[in-house]
Structure formats: structure tokens, C-alpha cells
A and B are shown apart, each in its own frame.
Chain A
């Protein structure tokens, strides 16, 4: 953690990671204010709107369960439409959280401290949304446990050589480890809530989940050891998850999917999309909760740079795809590329280039990296662009495969859209509940940072 870092926290020419004068007590006060304060009207409005979308999700899911996957636009050849597009999109969004909390912790990037709790929560909720799609896509979601290895009368086992089973293991492990990591980080903060809360229910619930934490130095020693190890375990895990997701495509022989660049390019795309989503949510939250002291311009700049870098890796991926299709001399691959540029989905493909490659180039400009409004607009463009990326990968390749006789067009139906928009409702509902009832910034880590800062 920050104590092991010999570098001063304020470097010449670099904005500080926290501003203002702080004592450990004032940090606690500032961060717990949204929890102990009164309910704000904007929060109620936001929760109500998100909850309405969540109800739309439940309605669409009920319709799907009663009528089957025929209500979606799926058919042969495009048997994997919105379900896989949205699954990959959501799971990618989740990756920024693990990157911020684990990889940046290992790299001793102290600016991560103010945003890791929020990003981890975002990871959990995004993975929850992602998990909905493969399960609903089963058509009989109540049989999802058939994917797990369990002893049964039919002596049936999952096919362990299948990328879809790898997905089951990778995503469920990812969800579990993210939850453990998030909970571990919360334990000392829940103890603070327990000791500060006036409301008896907050006090009791925080008391139960803080496990009787009392901040003994022996506790902290085991705790720090665990925290660092969880970061070390999450780092290869997060890289493996999106690699495995890319195997869903890359292990096949479909033109446009059978590509060795997919694992690194998918991981970079995930981080790109995830940072965009952190921006999308955090930029409005900062003024609403008055968190300018903890989420400073330094954070915006650092995150914008990560976004720019991963965006360039994604651009490299796009170019390599085209180059390899041409260089391989494979007719089907080259047709796929031409079809992307000039076929029925050419508009979506052009928008993908604009959103993911052209617009992020503004991040080279320092003024852009520090202006919240422009950053927010850029991150919205990336959210859309990354969704389009998965759309292009899935739909263009499947709708025009090897045999022209099997070609068909694909479009999502209103139920496809209802499920998709509905999971955004699920995500936002969870986010709204989280920002009201739990500290959005890790209190004990910021205390540590504030202490370090006052001694340099």
C-alpha cells in the first residue's frame, strides 16, 4: 500500500492525489456524509428511473421464460445475437474495476485509492448484468446448473474442452473473487460505519458485516497480507477472463473470429470500455457528493491516459484484423473485411471507428483530459463504440459465413432491446443503492493517504 512507496506523494508539476487539509476524522466525515445525510431528491429520481428499467428487464425475462428465445431476433445463421454482444460488453465494463483495484495497487499507483471502491462495485454489478445473458440465452434458465460439474444419475459431465464451459468457470470465479476483494476492502470501513451510525439498523447491519473489526495491529498485518495477495490473484484472473471470453470466438473457424490477436485485443478493449464507464458514472457523482478533494484533476488525467493507451491498442487490433485477413490470402476472411466496410452493417462499422478510434484522439490534448464535460461525452462515445464493436464482430461474421445459401440478415427485436436496456436498469439500481448505503471511497485507504501527504 501507500506506506511502502518511497516516492513523495506530491511531485513537482503533478497535481496532488488529494487536496485540502485532512485528519483521519475529517476523511471519515467527508466520505460518510452521503450515507448519514438525508435522502437527496436527485437520488430518489435516479433510483426510480433505474428501478423502472429494472422492471422492464423482469418483464422481458418473464416473457422470454414463458415464450422462449423465439421472441429475440436470433435465427440461423445468427444464433448468437444480442445475448453474446451484451454479455461481452458488460463483462468488459467490469474489468476496469479489477484493473484499478488490483493492477494499479501492485504498481503502487496511489491515485487509485480514491476510485477503487467505486470501480470494484461497478465490476460486481456489471458482472451480475453480464451473467444474465448467457443464463437467459439458455432458454430454460432454471437448468443453468447443468453447466456445473455435479454428480448426477445420468453420469453426465460438462465438456471441459469447450470454451463455453471455460466461460462458466472464468466468469463465476471472477464474480466470486471480485466479491471477496470488495468485501475485504469494506471490512474496516464497515467498522467505521458501525461506530459512527446513529440509526440502529445501520449500526446493526454494519456491525454484523464488519465482523467485530477493531483495527488491532495484528489484524492489520494479516489484512494487508491478504489484500495484497488478492490483488496478486486478481491480476492474472482479470486478464484470463477476457482472454477466455475471446476464446468463445477465437477457438472457432468463423471468418473474423478465428484470430490470434483476439485475447490481448479483447483485454485492452475491456479496460478501455471499463474506464469509460467509470468516467460516465463518476464525473456526475463528484459534484453531487462534493468529492472534489478526493477525486482530483490528477485522477481525471491519469484515467484519460489509460483510456487513450488502451484505445490505441484497440485501434491496433482493428488494423491487424484487416491486415491479417489480407495477408492470409483467405477468401472468406477478406470477404468479411470488405463486407464490414461496404456491406449492410457499414454504417455501424464506420460509427465504431468514429467512436473508438477518432473521438478518443482528443485525449491527447491536456485541456480535454481535465474538463469533466468533454471527458463525459468522450466516455459516452466509447460506451457506444465498444457495444458496436461486439455487434460488428458477432453479427457481420455470422450473417455472412462460408455459404451464400445460408446468409441472412439480423436485427434485434424490441425484446432484445428490452432485455439490454433492462440490464442497464439493474446496473443503475445497484449503483444507486450502493452510493446511498456504502462508502463510495475507501475510507481507511484515504486516511492512510492523507496521513502520508501531511508528512511530506
Chain B
């Protein structure tokens, strides 16, 4: 197989501890296009691979602020500017009665933007991905397998060299990931 059809090399490990250790050593060895796959969140991996902080909180905050301001603007504009009407002798801009709707709009937009943000930041939905070409990944990744991937686009990638590097990390097996 020529290397331009190769997406990367994947190694399988028996448990999250060995995977984390392998990820740490891979990162130390200078590989940067590295990804690890686990059936449940393993926070030690984020440190091992030196992930940057997630953007999700910023997205949620922005969504929440937009929702709150939007809700408040809607109520102010509709009951003070567009169709002012005296209810119960209160002034047009009697804001205490708007607190509930403003709060609900804040939460609603924060939550929606959070989910959309998570999906988009993860570049999902993505039904096809080369990693699914590895049979053991397809069978085990979402239930019991722990995998490490080095992409062929990595500067240090060299099929034979990277393969022997991965084999040095005591994996269960190392497989080619076809594009």
C-alpha cells in the first residue's frame, strides 16, 4: 500500500493506564497529530496529549448572554415601543415581571448553543471516518477497546519507523488505518 492511501497507524492497548502512558511517550517523542480513543472519558489522556482548553464553556457563555439580552429586548420592545399598554397601573417598562422570561431565555440559548458547539467543535456529525476501517476498532472502540492513533500527515510520520515505535509501547496489536 502506498503511503498516500494511509490515514495513519493505530495501536490497541488493554486498559486506560497503558494507553495514557503510551500517549504520553508518543507526545514526548514529538508526534503531534495523535489521537486516543476510549469507551469512556479518561481525563489523564487530555494532559498526556496536552489538549488545549475546551471552547465549549465560552460558547455556552456567549449563547447565554445572547439569550438573556434577546429575551429582555423582546419584552422591552414589545411592551414599551411596539404596543405599549397599561396593565394593572404599572409603568410600561416594569421590568420585575420580565425576570422569569429573561432567565428562561438565557438558559435555553446557553443549552442549545452548548450542544451545537460541542457537536461542531468535535466536527460531528461525521458518519465516515478512516478509523472505522480498522476492524478491531469497529468492534471494540465504543465498548471496551483503548486505541492510539498517529496520523500519516504528522511531520515525523514514517511508516516503518512509526510502526516500530508503536510496537515498542507494548500494544496488543498495531494496524494500518486506510484512508
Given A212-B128, A447-B40, the answer on whether A184 and B118 have CB atoms closer than 8 Å is yes
Point out the residues of chain B lying under 8 angstroms from A221, CB to CB: 41, 46, 51, 54
Interface presence of B101 (CB below 8 A): yes
Interface locus among B1-9, B119-127, B161-169: B119-127
A215-B37, A240-B103 as given contacts; A176 in contact with B90, CB under 8 Å: no
Please name 17 further chain A to chain B contacts, defined as beta carbons within 8 Å, in addition to the given A213-B142, A226-B114, sorted by A numbering.
A4-B43, A194-B142, A195-B138, A195-B140, A212-B124, A214-B141, A214-B142, A217-B35, A217-B46, A217-B51, A219-B122, A219-B124, A229-B57, A230-B111, A233-B110, A444-B41, A448-B40
* Total chain B interface residues with beta-carbon distance under 8 A: 65
By size class, the interface of chain A is: 35 or more
B122 contacts which chain A residues (CB < 8 A)? 216, 218-219, 222-223
Residues in A with CB closer than 8 Å to B142 are 188, 191-192, 194-196, 213-215
Q: Which of A24, A165, A237, A447 contacts B107 (CB 8 A)?
A: A237
Contact of B141 among A177, A180, A215, A451 (CB under 8 A): A215
Quick check: is A173 within 8 A (CB to CB) of the other chain? yes
List A contacts of B56 (CB < 8 A).
222, 225-226, 229
Cβ-neighbour of B94 out of A23, A161, A217, A247 (below 8 A): A161
Q: Once the chains are docked, how many angstroms separate the CA of A236 from the CA of B87?
A: 29
Q: Complex: how many Å from CA A448 to CA B40? A: 6
Give 15 A-B contacts (CB < 8 Å), ordered by A residue.
A24-B40, A25-B143, A157-B79, A159-B87, A161-B87, A214-B129, A217-B35, A217-B38, A220-B38, A222-B118, A223-B41, A236-B107, A237-B107, A240-B100, A447-B143
Q: Which residues of A contact B87 (CB under 8 A)?
A: 159, 161
CB-CB < 8 A to A3: which residues of B?
Answer: 41-43
Inter-chain contact A177/B37, CB cutoff 8 Å: no
Identify the A interface with B (CB < 8 A). 1, 3-4, 23-25, 28, 149, 155-157, 159-161, 165-166, 169-170, 173, 176-177, 180-181, 183-184, 188, 191-192, 194-196, 207-208, 211-226, 229-230, 233-234, 236-237, 240, 244, 247, 443-445, 447-448, 451
Query: CB < 8 Å: which of A28, A176, A211, A220 contacts B126?
Result: A211
* Complex partner residue of A445 from B40, B51, B54, B74, CB under 8 angstroms: B40
A220 contact set on B, CB distance < 8 A:
38, 40-42, 45-46
CB-CB < 8 A to B98: which residues of A?
160-161
Beta-carbon nearest neighbor of B20 in chain A: A217
In the bound complex, CA of A192 to CA of B43 (Å): 20
Q: What separation, in Å, do the CA atoms of A131 and B42 have in the docked complex?
A: 39
- In the bound complex, residues from chain A placing their C-beta under 8 Å from that of B110 are 229, 233
Q: Are B41 and A218 in contact (CB under 8 A)?
A: no
Secondary structure call for the A interface: helix
A229 vs B119: C-alpha distance in the bound complex, in angstroms?
15
> Is A166 within 8 A of B39, CB to CB?
no
Docked CA distance A181–B112 (Å):
10
Complex Cα gap A3–B44 (Å): 10
Q: How far is the CB of B85 from chain A (nearest CB, A)?
A: 9
CA distance A35 to B50 in the complex (A): 38
The minimal Cβ–Cβ distance linking A266 to chain B, given in whole angstroms, is 15
Residue B11, interface by CB 8 Å? no
Q: Report A-chain residues with C-beta under 8 Å of the C-beta of B105.
A: 169, 173
> Does B139 reach chain A (CB closer than 8 Å)?
yes
Residues of B within 8 A of A240 (CB): 100, 103-104, 107
Query: In whole angstroms, what is the CA distance A451 to B105 when docked?
Result: 39
- Check: B171 CB closer than 8 A to any chain A CB: no
Are A216 and B35 touching (Cβ within 8 A)?
yes
> Across chains A and B, which 7 residue pairs bring their CB atoms closest together, nearest first?
A161-B97, A25-B144, A211-B125, A28-B143, A157-B78, A212-B126, A166-B100
- Bound-state CA distance A447–B111 (Å) is 26
Q: A169-B100, A223-B122 are in contact. Are A161 and B90 (CB under 8 A)?
A: yes
**Given A161-B87, A161-B94, A244-B100 contact (CB < 8 Å):** yes
The yes or no answer to B157 lying at the interface (CB within 8 A) is: no
- Chain B residues contacting A224 (CB-CB under 8 Å) are 41, 43
Shortest distance in angstroms between B154's beta carbon and chain A's nearest beta carbon?
Answer: 15
Least distance between A92 CB and chain B CB atoms (Å): 18
For the complex, give the distance between the alpha carbons of A208 and B82 in Å: 44
Interchain CB contact under 8 A, B111 and A233: yes
Question: Could you tell me if A149 and B129 are in contact, using CB atoms closer than 8 angstroms?
Answer: no
Q: Given the complex, which residues of B lie within 8 Å of A445, measured CB to CB?
A: 40
Contact B38 A160 (CB under 8 A): no
